[in-house]
Structure 1
């Protein structure tokens, strides 16, 4: 082959320019080392291109077929799956069984890896996939026995529920049957590169039941507070501890249900009732505290995937036709949960082409992948929403153990119930776990190997110490088998208030505030849940002596008919945001650890002020960023004198005309929140144990508000300074100065350029591979860096933990507004998207809309669904 002719050029200068040659000539005449380096670089580029192409193939291989036709064994007739532009599926079939089958199929199409990991979580089998790193989580969950309880629940379910679970499982299995792991999820391919040799097992109906235990764990109530109170009791008086857990302010933040009482075991919304309790406090010797610290260490180490039970809550409210611009009820809901990618919810509709005895469903809303039915949403007749009721359904019982297999009870000893569990661990030998239980529940202080000696052969001395002879048992209503799955499908099928309440009666755990509206114009509220009745010696606020049977639960639960409920209240609306359900006259103990009601009060004020709301105004209220602590704290900050220079005073000036809202672009909100975090650190870190440091949420709003009226109160003094006693204004001044300096370092010297969103980032991380430490993998699965407004205990509840920083730790996991006048006028949005595949366009396609405060149209009727249709998949029965 002849070389190409040189490119014509101007004559080079003989003194300064080399002769101009083509790139090809230059390469051919280059010295050999340079030529080899070039070939090597070219080879590397080609290898990288090949690897990139292979990676794209691997990541895209699991994407599901969403149009056309698929033959599927197990169906009785064809099923249509109509997806809109955001991949949200509306399923149409002729029988409930085919609907459940298709729901399982579609869930597996989009999120099977998430489902598979969840069932490994709830069975205590994560280590089979992830190795020794997850062994402690497996130990803890096996000790609690989530899967064992779910298996016991199967027999309690109604036949129709068992049929639905079975059909759902068949649909999942029909999808995964002929697909290799690499065609199910990119995660399996990546884990395969680490040596994982794994093929998913068939889905079992009990796998769906077990996931409800994980949700109950995340919403379990005040278990952490029980431990924290004991730890603080080592260094602080009862009065000081009480100041950190103030009584609920019923006069400032009204409960959900005003008035009412229990008459002959039935709650009547117009009755009154009273009750008293006189709890007995045990002494907490050092051995008890050490056992509780070990338990708390284990709780703190639980992965985010399982849920921490902190910083979560929800908003929901419903207005009647007199308060609605449509003349019919409107219902809003936004549950607050930990943030992850993908998010917890998957939107879907389940529609019978014709309602018959064999086909009863026509429902749409938010679903859990792995669980049949719609969890929150509406059907053709009613709409419903959830917020966490937050009842005290856990207690820690201190146990005196004797030897390895007995424990003390009323002066005698009884045998521990003991079972052995085998945990398979990837890459190493199986691990044997010995689980011990008392009458109160499993000994969770036994969870780790280093805890196994707790309680063994430890005599009691005169001071009451038992060395390592204290164990901690967990009593939790979720460990009692219950037919909660019946409630889910019961809500899906309910057509009126009575049927709604009948379904709610089966909702054992997690106990939720249920708000209701129907097409007849009614609105209502029902508190469901299995809530223990305690004896007088146990008020649920601190661990109690398990060796005294008088402290036991009675074995009864608050009767469902005695739980608060209301239908068509006179004020025309119902607002729930985790505040107290009812006032202190209520005869049963629900909890002492309510949310303090700041969000609820803000919502009530807005509903009262508006008078008549539209769908858009309901959605706008969900985005309210007013900080309730600012109204209290800012006047005190503005009164601080003697700031050192204009540099600091310029920052303070941001607060002078601030409207107390916290949008992402607010400089004043940025400064206030940094001041708030710094104030908590300066005030409490020197006095409290680290694990009890303030997180900055609603309880601390209440605590600090009370302290501000006492400028010389004891909490203000800095324990680290021996030569002076600090006052409130000293701490406020220091907080203002340190916050100014922090924001200068983080953002700008000019306060006008600060933004709250720059600090307050929503980082959506994959629960399994998102923190792998491998940057390309993390970039593939995570969606980080969203700048958001809102904050803790704000209606737009993007919570953050003041101990850790400003990053969002929990947020509205979805938002919905349902119009009972016109289902198709309803709105919804998901935190992420419906797909769990990172290569899917629906992996996070709703997030930007969510962050911008927007919502999507919620098509329900067949005509609206057809108008929004983008893809249509037909599942047809395969020839047997």
Structure 2
């Protein structure tokens, strides 16, 4: 017994010693946050003050020194995140993660973003280039200052590579990949669907704003200019005939078609987007305009953004969110102007079907046959290398084939010098919305819906990012340019950009990834996959309910969980089950619906029930069509790319209930709807769950993870944010929220009144799990507390000193 106790004691000592050793090694990579620190590359001394959340305020005497200091902060706090961003766009993840990342790296090498970044920097104005070089020096100084390399590299047994100037543009390209289609997926999916569906079915299912559905469902779209004119019409070809046609020549060896059809779900998940809106001076007590902005992205640990504040030479203070890897303020306010974004979902690319010779060595252009250009790319996979050959055309790289084997090339804004530059750095100097609009039109970023407010009360919407000098019009989704090139050769000047003022809308403006303009401005932007306008309409509706607004009022809208669409579905479900004789599950459903408020709140049983019912009906009506299309196994086709407006078609079907459009697995519409209601009941109440386990929060659980905790068991305890029920939904509500998707930040600010502004961010400032800033501020984001926009009382003070050359 004594020996056993001694052994247990010895084991305990070893475990404690091992943990202490690990803690010592990992803590050695914590950044320097106070004191004085001499660094080469600075022209003058710089002070960095941090508050209790770790939000820094930089005071520097020059733009280059400010960029250097921001680079130090990013390099210390977020270097591994930055490394993943640059590798993501460059196609260099396999070096860290091996074969698992090879297919992605090959897809990215097709775009040759590293070469494009180098070319862009060579053409960059010298002042911008010097800021970028200063930032790069700061990043490397910050990372090199760590006594031990960041813990991620210890786990990978790798050493971090130095930061290069082109890496900052690669981070920008990563945002292109996140916010737009890198493979023409939207156009290719639509072309595939158009080819395989009858014309009336294609028009019925394709994403488009519609002005008429059925049985009182409103027009969801809420454009800032123009109106919806398209009506939705039920297809005439029976569902059974359509499914039979789609399954012809398909080798489906699954053996259980009915089960698969019923289990299939349209992939109606969150896609990168955002909400933003504003009120001008006529709608505030102080006469200044206010911008509200929340950008929706996939969220992991650490978060996409890094909060920062700095002073300009003229004394103005710039505050907001930066992107680790780049020296720019992405969204924020400078005292005169505030700006925020939503993804535009305009048409910023073209898929081109190539006409090739028999050997596929040449392709046809309006000027005759041209040979392909070949680029030999070497990808490092762990310690081994593999070759990847990129075929290029005068229009862009070859990205794959259509479902008949024809080669496809890709023309994309991201491939041009205008597509990625650092011109947005000038936004922090704008004095008013007019100056900011010029900066926006010349900024090389993924095209965004820009919401601009200034301290004099003006509010404007426009596009930030390059707009090709060509008109978008109804077209073939995949085009043949062999005889007539429809290629854009230039980009629009600032005076030719679309613009809407709040004076046109009684002092308010809004966007939420749906179509913003439906008038003569539309051809400037086109269609790249808009969301249905339910969120936009909800925001507009709430903005019309008050005459004057404060920052808290706009935060309340950001946190709104009302789902206008599900109000209709709740009534529909009630009508389906409130029949005689009542099915056995009707009582529980009707009791839940009696408490319906239409809000995606944590404790709402009725919301969970209605959401499940909606999804079950979608699965049983249009699910078989989606499955039949995906069974054809065309790698570029994705239902998720083209289902944003599917609720218009779905509602028209279930309210009209045409016999010929009934899923042939059911004898009646009543049977289909009751089966959907029972399945929703089972999903909500059964399996031993009482009402307390049936709330929406039980299925809408926040789970923000560090990339490593997903692959290394046990690390989640240290690295992840707490898993918890959340209000909101991944679709159709203003408070977009899923398991790892939602508002990557929330900002509400009036320029000149930043002390009254609000800012939320999930996770924390630091990427180091032992930092006090790792989770700081996260609870305010979760709970919707109005946390301050500006950094608060200084807790740590760091002074960066130039190195004496003597």
Q: TM-score range by the shorter chain?
A: 0.7 to 0.9
- Counterparts of 2:307 and 2:549 in 1: how far apart (Å)? 25
Task: Give the superposed CA RMSD.
Answer: 2.9
Matches of residues 105-504 of structure 1 in structure 2 within 5 Å?
A: 105-179=72-146, 183-192=148-157, 196=158, 198=159, 200-220=160-180, 223-233=184-194, 235-249=196-210, 252-253=219-220, 255-258=222-225, 311-352=271-312, 354-355=313-314, 362-401=317-356, 402-409=358-365, 413-428=369-384, 430-445=385-400, 469-482=405-418, 484-504=420-440
**CA 1:692–1:670: 2 relative to 1, 3 Å:** same
Deviations 1:84-112 (A, max 9, x none): 11111111112111111101001111111
Matches of residues 677-692 of structure 1 in structure 2 within 5 Å?
A: 677-689=615-627, 690=630, 692=638
Q: Counterpart of 1:775 in 2: which secondary structure?
A: coil
Show the counterpart of 2:562: 626
- Counterparts of 1:482 and 1:364 in 2: how far apart (Å)? 27
Matches of residues 29-40 of structure 1 in structure 2 within 5 Å?
A: 35=3, 37-40=4-7
- Counterparts of 2:211 and 2:59 in 1: how far apart (Å)? 48
- Counterparts of 1:692 and 1:489 in 2: how far apart (Å)? 36
Deviations 1:569-618 (A, max 9, x none): 14111111122121144362522332221111111111110111111111
Q: Counterpart of 1:569 in 2: which secondary structure?
A: helix
Deviations 1:119-144 (A, max 9, x none): 22222211222222211111111111
Q: How far off its partner does 1:622 sit?
A: 0.3
Show the counterpart of 2:646: 700
**CA 1:48–1:483: 2 relative to 1, 3 Å:** same
1:74 to 41, 46, 60: 41
1:750 to 690, 698, 706: 690
Show the counterpart of 1:823: 754
Q: Counterpart of 1:783 in 2: which secondary structure?
A: coil
Show the counterpart of 2:257: none
1:513 to 449, 457, 467: 449
Show the counterpart of 2:709: 770
Is the counterpart of residue 856 in structure 1 residue 802 in structure 2?
no
2:663 to 718, 725, 733: 718
- Counterparts of 2:651 and 2:524 in 1: how far apart (Å)? 27
Q: Which moves more between the two structures, 383-392 or 634-643?
A: 634-643
**CA 1:553–1:786: 2 relative to 1, 3 Å:** farther
Contact 1:395 1:540 in 2 (8 A): no
Q: Counterpart of 1:730 in 2: which secondary structure?
A: helix
Is the counterpart of residue 833 in structure 1 residue 790 in structure 2?
no
Deviations 1:124-174 (A, max 9, x none): 211222222211111111111111111111133222211211111111122
- Counterparts of 1:710 and 1:754 in 2: how far apart (Å)? 31
Contact 1:157 1:485 in 2 (8 A): yes
Show the counterpart of 1:6: none
Segments of structure 2 that go 5 or more residues without pairing to the other structure are 213-218, 228-245, 251-267, 631-636
Contact 2:184 2:351 in 1 (8 A): yes
- Counterparts of 1:404 and 1:784 in 2: how far apart (Å)? 54
Contact 1:834 1:842 in 2 (8 A): yes
Q: How many residue pairs get matched?
A: 749
Q: Which has the higher contact order (CA 8 A, sep 6+)?
A: 2
Show the counterpart of 1:56: 23
Q: How far off its partner does 1:501 sit?
A: 1.4
- Counterparts of 1:873 and 1:411 in 2: how far apart (Å)? 62
1:553 to 465, 471, 487: 487
Segments of structure 1 that go 5 or more residues without pairing to the other structure are 1-26, 29-34, 261-285, 291-307, 446-453, 456-464, 800-806, 860-864
Matches of residues 795-814 of structure 1 in structure 2 within 5 Å?
A: 795-798=733-736, 807-814=738-745
Deviations 1:492-524 (A, max 9, x none): 111112211110111243001111111222211
Q: How far off its partner does 1:845 sit?
A: 2.4
Show the counterpart of 1:300: none
Q: Counterpart of 2:589 in 1: which secondary structure?
A: helix
Q: How far off its partner does 1:699 sit?
A: 1.6
Is the counterpart of residue 580 in structure 1 residue 547 in structure 2?
no
Q: How far off its partner does 1:841 sit?
A: 2.3
Q: How far off its partner does 1:726 sit?
A: 3.3
Show the counterpart of 2:525: 590
2:721 to 759, 765, 783: 783
Is the counterpart of residue 794 in structure 1 residue 754 in structure 2?
no
- Counterparts of 1:336 and 1:782 in 2: how far apart (Å)? 20
- Counterparts of 1:42 and 1:367 in 2: how far apart (Å)? 50
- Counterparts of 1:41 and 1:688 in 2: how far apart (Å)? 59
Deviations 1:499-557 (A, max 9, x none): 11110111243001111111222211222333345688x746622335x3336324344
- Counterparts of 1:368 and 1:144 in 2: how far apart (Å)? 22
Q: Counterpart of 2:31 in 1: which secondary structure?
A: coil
- Counterparts of 1:73 and 1:744 in 2: how far apart (Å)? 64
Q: Which moves more between the two structures, 682-691 or 342-351?
A: 682-691
Instruction: Using structure 1 for the length normalisation, give the TM-score.
Output: 0.80
Show the counterpart of 1:868: 793
Q: Counterpart of 1:687 in 2: which secondary structure?
A: helix
**CA 1:711–1:778: 2 relative to 1, 3 Å:** same
Q: How far off its partner does 1:220 sit?
A: 1.1
Contact 1:220 1:309 in 2 (8 A): no
Deviations 1:620-677 (A, max 9, x none): 1100001121122222211113575444421233123412111122111111112222
**CA 1:178–1:563: 2 relative to 1, 3 Å:** closer
**CA 1:618–1:535: 2 relative to 1, 3 Å:** closer
- Counterparts of 2:600 and 2:429 in 1: how far apart (Å)? 40
Q: How far off its partner does 1:178 sit?
A: 4.9
Matches of residues 6-25 of structure 1 in structure 2 within 5 Å?
A: none
Contact 1:532 1:553 in 2 (8 A): no
Q: How far off its partner does 1:743 sit?
A: 2.1
Q: How far off its partner does 1:368 sit?
A: 0.3
- Counterparts of 2:298 and 2:581 in 1: how far apart (Å)? 39
- Counterparts of 1:185 and 1:540 in 2: how far apart (Å)? 50
- Counterparts of 2:535 and 2:433 in 1: how far apart (Å)? 27
- Counterparts of 1:694 and 1:434 in 2: how far apart (Å)? 29
Deviations 1:189-218 (A, max 9, x none): 1112xxx4x3x3322221111211111121
Q: Counterpart of 1:817 in 2: which secondary structure?
A: strand
- Counterparts of 1:700 and 1:253 in 2: how far apart (Å)? 12
**CA 1:770–1:550: 2 relative to 1, 3 Å:** farther
- Counterparts of 1:565 and 1:188 in 2: how far apart (Å)? 47
Q: How far off its partner does 1:232 sit?
A: 2.9
Q: Which moves more between the two structures, 687-696 or 632-641?
A: 687-696
- Counterparts of 2:583 and 2:655 in 1: how far apart (Å)? 27
- Counterparts of 1:373 and 1:258 in 2: how far apart (Å)? 31
**CA 1:652–1:403: 2 relative to 1, 3 Å:** farther
2:50 to 80, 83, 87: 83
Deviations 1:334-365 (A, max 9, x none): 0111111111011000214x52xxxx873110
Q: Which moves more between the two structures, 778-787 or 123-132?
A: 778-787
